[in-house]
Structure 1
Amino acid sequence: SVLRDYGFEVTEGVGKTGVVGTLRRGNGPALGLRADMDALPMVEYNEFAHCSQHRGKMHACGHDGHTAMLLGAAASLSRDTDWHGTVHVIFQPAEEVAGGGRVMVEDGLFERFPCDAVFGLHNWPGLPLGHFAINRGPMMASFDTFEIVVDGKGSHAAMPEEGIDALVCAS
């Protein structure tokens, strides 16, 4: 609703729960601005003023801040008439679990919303106020999952050499 209020054409359900807002201003490049917006399934025990209002849902990695920053950029771009082209504001779900960005791409994100370049932003509380860091290409950690199965063999404490201590292997 906020994007619509700023004059963006809004597409919901991209990659299941992603949202893309598009604003066009004549001919020019098409840029994508991306932020993640998922909450993590954990209870927030701090007492910050910005603490989650929903028990069991925490924006532990600053995702609420990312969403707010992208909405702020959308608001600024909607008021600024000194640019030409298209901007797609991309709200990506599921950054912290497998699939968010990949699912949006598989759902035709860049076919439906072609971009000449895409820029993402992640907060970094350790940087001084008013500063930002930039890097060409990929930056920050990525998410991956794997599973390890460790089979052990019990033995009597008097004969540990006959066993396989799965706890040591798993550690």
Structure 2
Amino acid sequence: EWLEGEGLGTRILRDEQFAGVRPQLAYECGRIAARIHGIDVVEKGLDRVLARITAADYVQQTWSRYKEFGTPHPMIDYVGCWLMQHLPETHRDTLVHNEFRNGNLMVSPDGIVGVVDWEIAHIGDPMRDLGWLCTNAWRYGETLPVGGVGAHEQLFQGDED
């Protein structure tokens, strides 16, 4: 399906045509994430085709890749150990986009028109999507924590509404 919109994160953050919609994007991201996470994976048959990946799986996979480099960094070692000791104890399994971020959201001057790049979607903890959207890399030099467009509170409010 063809979507009319912009997917390049830097343009969404800087082009004047998106100035009017930028203040609503963090909230809108929360609403869209909630819709994605609300999809019944069993009813849709997604549990038969998508991998189930836990937080522990992610941390262990990342840790293993890091160790393969053979170049220790004390801060990464510390954070890796901390993460393994502080994994979420419970979460509900949902559909997880896994790259829910500025750059995979198609945006028009009216708002978000679609979410693209689904090839690594899986079943897991929905906080993965919210956290990924708040990663510094997807702010493209902007300071606002949610993809460079808004505050955590806006994202969480959209997710809860």
What interval of TM-score do these two structures reach, taking the shorter chain for normalisation?
under 0.3
Structure of higher RCO (CA pairs closer than 8 Å, 6+ residues apart): 2
Give the structure with the larger strand fraction.
1
The structure having more radius of gyration, on CA atoms, is 1
Give the structure with the larger helix fraction.
2
